[in-house]
Structure 1
């Protein structure tokens, strides 16, 4: 099975738009990017996510787990079918007899034997042991599917986060370059004023120091951008040295229509989160394990039949051809097994109780994560508004102070402070935007309904 076909099966995943979110988004279809080698330039977040889903090792591991559990389910179902065994054999032999002192009585005989048989066994009734095994395997398959969903959503979220991190790092780099350019211009202006005798040497040196600090900040921002690019490339299953060119960031923020009251979101997460669904399925499997352990000590009724043919020929006797057939019912009644069956039932019950506790813990963890991400999105939304106001104020202040300084009525310290405040405001705006996208993505992921709608 190709991974293109495997990803086509992802249409059953809950990676769709929530009922309260934007409409028109289908479930995960086959990403076309899986079939094309060239990397799009510029790269958008959708292609980054699709490439991660296609090539990340965790997705392949998750699908292999589902396939293995599906095979185990078929094995459990096979217990309802009859079992037949055929045997065919051909044998050659010889025998000799020698009597001491009477060689005339010595004899030697060769024989040729051929045998064939077919045995049939079919369990007719077993007090629910096979049914429990099938239901247990089916529940484990559901758990594997839910674990696969959780893995895909984790890979999805990690790739999208890496994309936003790189976008943020590039934005921070652009802001650092702007700050560097402004600092250089201020240093040139201070040098010109010093040469004209309108400024002191101290002003000139302070301006040069600020310019050097701006260069250092830009160099560090370049390093952060390179690290973020390598992280995104690795998330897409590519070489960390792959050059990446991102599409321009969105001019407007994506919608948050999926955000409802926290009570409604908690109910959605409890119902749809793949981690909860996996824990629920594992609890069901453990319950069926108890039923199977109890049925293990019950009688079984089986149908058995056999057909056998044996043909033998020898040099001294006529050929012999023997045939036999048999059919019957067999009732197997376990009598004593050294209390092992009772211990097996107790072990299965303990495993069931452990899975019940695990489900409760998972529900609690999911609820807590959702609560934190819900509060986080609210905080980052307010921070985003405040960062916009801060940036506008700092930009206006820097323009005014720069004009005053060029006109000769301002001082250098005032200019450097204004430029530093503007650079800091730009950085905070970039960081606030990145944190808002991250908070929105985390909230969608904590609902267990992360999909392409979340990055559009």
Structure 2
């Protein structure tokens, strides 16, 4: 076949040869394109949908504008390193990043409607002609090439509405990135402080267990000396055993907290982690007027920004649905080239204007408009509900923080007095002027006071991060300002 094509190309008229060569080239090119379809699309962003502008670490968190790096877990890690690892490794951030890229691609699809479409059809056929005046049959090859271009001139705003819908949905996706980032930041911060609190609770349990052991030994010594009853010894021994059990429980809680921290960092739960700081008190002078905080949250919360964008996207969908039911005006151009060895050649070009008027589509456009209007009402209601929820979130977080800070101050006084009470009671018991009940009660009160102080400190640190997240202000700068400066190294 290709040899015949070569012979007939040589025999063609001079003006026909370039056309035959061009068509044969296009034919070969089409075959190559079918084998490697990647040449038909761009790996970049030709319509500037800002895909590259969407950060790998989404908006709301900046780690020195650097790409994610692996965290060195062989040494103690700080709160900042924990949050960095969480944002880089937690699947939630990967999911929201992929979702934003998909929506950016939808914006590109909407922009592409403003560009013309171009298609090229190449075909070939082989036949045999038998002239009446000859007894000999002549084979021939017929090639045709058709190039068609279409461009939509006017559609009563359908493309504009569709583009605005895509833009608003991309804005919503971008705001959702920030919301997800802040959720991951809060979860990692809570997990970090929870580990620290469990470490402090374990240390306190060990200290109380040691004190209980001292009380038990004192009771045992007095019993052996014959100056106390067996009941004193048994009561002290029971209290000692209970505190040993509490210490074992705290050890298990600490390991569970380590597993939760590893999980939010995107690591296996059995990953060994060492923290670089102990539990420290939250700053006291961080409260502002709650009304101002609620007002700031209304302007900064990324989920509210996303909700506003979804409402605007739904409103744009109404315009798009209305415009889709109206006529469209398009212009088209085509060029058809045919060249055959035994047939006449032709080269035809056409230019046309098309007006498409939808007459009846079974009332589908009417219901599409109704659905779009109902969706817009739904998005508006969701936006209003979120505004109320934000005010409640800020109010609750503010009150929790204020209560926690006051509780920290109160527990410091409580621990100080409980320590003095226990020392006095134990001294009196050793001197033989006190009883074991008073000693054990003072010992239990001291243990409770220490646990309450640890919990109050944990609550204050978490409440500050929660208030920042409720205001939409939890970012890297906020994380770095959180208390984590104690150089005590606590390991798993």
| Alignment equivalent of 1:87, drawn from 99, 121, 134 | 121
Give the aligned partner of residue 163 of structure 1: 192
| Alignment equivalent of 1:58, drawn from 92, 103, 106 | 92
Deviations 1:254-294 (A, max 9, x none): 4654x422211111111111111111000000000001011
Work out whether 1:409 is the aligned partner of 2:453: no
8 Å contact kept, 1:276–1:363 = yes
Structure 1 residues 276 and 256: CA distance shift in structure 2, 3 A? farther
| Alignment equivalent of 2:104, drawn from 70, 84, 89 | 70
Give the aligned partner of residue 335 of structure 2: 307
After superposing on structure 2, the runs of 4+ consecutive aligned residues of structure 1 that deviate more than 3 Å are 5-8, 27-32, 94-98, 104-109, 254-257
Give the aligned partner of residue 11 of structure 2: none
Structure 1 residues 84 and 31: CA distance shift in structure 2, 3 A? closer
Distance in 2, matches of 1:256 and 1:324, equals 82
Give me the CA root mean square deviation.
2.3
Partner-residue secondary structure (3-state), 1:38:
coil
Give the aligned partner of residue 218 of structure 1: 247
| Alignment equivalent of 2:293, drawn from 235, 254, 265 | 265
Q: TM-score, normalised by structure 1?
A: 0.89
Q: CA deviation at 1:321?
A: 1.1
Q: How many positions carry a matched residue from both structures?
A: 431
| Alignment equivalent of 1:372, drawn from 392, 396, 417 | 396
| Alignment equivalent of 2:213, drawn from 152, 167, 184 | 184
Distance in 1, matches of 2:111 and 2:301, equals 29
Distance in 1, matches of 2:337 and 2:284, equals 78
Q: CA deviation at 1:403?
A: 1.8
Structure 1 residues 425 and 31: CA distance shift in structure 2, 3 A? farther
Q: CA deviation at 1:29?
A: 3.3
Structure 1 residues 31 and 8: CA distance shift in structure 2, 3 A? farther
Give the aligned partner of residue 153 of structure 1: 182
Deviations 1:108-147 (A, max 9, x none): 4533100011101011121111111111000000111111
| Alignment equivalent of 2:405, drawn from 371, 381, 405 | 381
Work out whether 1:48 is the aligned partner of 2:82: yes
Q: CA deviation at 1:320?
A: 1.7
| Alignment equivalent of 1:29, drawn from 64, 75, 79 | 64
Which 5+ residue runs of structure 2 have no aligned equivalent? Answer: 1-42, 44-50, 482-492
**Correspondences of 1:234-249 after superposition (within 5 Å):** 234-249=263-278
Q: Comparing 217-226 with 85-94, which one deviates more in the overlay?
A: 85-94
Structure 1 residues 402 and 377: CA distance shift in structure 2, 3 A? same
Q: Comparing 108-117 with 432-441, which one deviates more in the overlay?
A: 108-117
Give the aligned partner of residue 440 of structure 1: 464
Distance in 2, matches of 1:402 and 1:231, equals 40
Which 5+ residue runs of structure 1 have no aligned equivalent? Answer: 16-26, 99-103
Structure 1 residues 385 and 45: CA distance shift in structure 2, 3 A? same
Distance in 2, matches of 1:106 and 1:62, equals 75
Partner-residue secondary structure (3-state), 2:274:
coil
Distance in 2, matches of 1:132 and 1:277, equals 20
Distance in 1, matches of 2:335 and 2:53, equals 49
Partner-residue secondary structure (3-state), 1:94:
strand
| Alignment equivalent of 2:227, drawn from 172, 179, 198 | 198
Q: CA deviation at 1:28?
A: 4.5
Work out whether 1:362 is the aligned partner of 2:386: yes
8 Å contact kept, 1:10–1:28 = no
Q: CA deviation at 1:97?
A: 11
8 Å contact kept, 2:282–2:460 = no
8 Å contact kept, 1:194–1:201 = yes
**Correspondences of 1:310-329 after superposition (within 5 Å):** 310-314=338-342, 319-329=343-353
8 Å contact kept, 2:186–2:469 = yes
Distance in 1, matches of 2:54 and 2:214, equals 56
Structure 1 residues 30 and 382: CA distance shift in structure 2, 3 A? same
Distance in 2, matches of 1:355 and 1:42, equals 46
Q: TM-score, normalised by structure 2?
A: 0.83
Q: Comparing 360-369 with 6-15, which one deviates more in the overlay?
A: 6-15
| Alignment equivalent of 1:9, drawn from 31, 41, 55 | 55
Distance in 2, matches of 1:172 and 1:7, equals 45
